[in-house]
Amino acid sequence: MGMRAWLPVAALVLLAAPAEARDKGGNYAVYAPSCEEVNAGAKEQAVRYGVLTWVQGFLTAFNYAKDETWDILPMDDLDPVVAGMFDYCRENPKDDLAAAAEVMVEEFWSRRLKALPPG
């Protein structure tokens, strides 16, 4: 397919309005492990890595979806964040990682980086 064939597609993508991430009632689908699942495998390295990668994906999506948010969690080391997710799940076994992540972003909201730092 030649470059000219892609121009209409590119134009449509650029002109598309942003989509609302929730329904009219404020609900959205959650794809997160339950805290019971997290707690059951808390000592397994694979589960710890799974929580880390889930958190990384959540944070990336959050940064993308929120206006004036370049990075909700401006830190390089996510180990304390993952530890916090496990702590939350121990204290709230009926919740899931999405609930833990919501608490986390509320705590970091005022400290977020609103734009790419210079340099």
pLDDT along the chain (119 residues), means of 10: 50 45 76 94 95 95 95 92 97 97 96 93
Output the pLDDT for position 50.
95
Q: What is the pTM of this model?
A: 0.75
Using DSSP's 3-state secondary structure scheme, residue 37 falls into: helix
Output the pLDDT for position 40.
97
Q: Are 92 and 99 in contact (CB under 8 A)?
A: yes
Determine, yes or no, domain membership for 34.
no
Determine, yes or no, domain membership for 116.
yes
Determine, yes or no, domain membership for 41.
no
Determine, yes or no, domain membership for 57.
yes
Determine, yes or no, domain membership for 93.
yes
Report how many domains make up the chain: 1
CA atoms of 15 and 8, how far apart (whole Å)? 11
Determine, yes or no, domain membership for 119.
yes
Residue-number span of the structural domain to which 99 is assigned: 48-119
Determine, yes or no, domain membership for 94.
yes
Phi/psi for 113 (5° steps) reads -90, 125
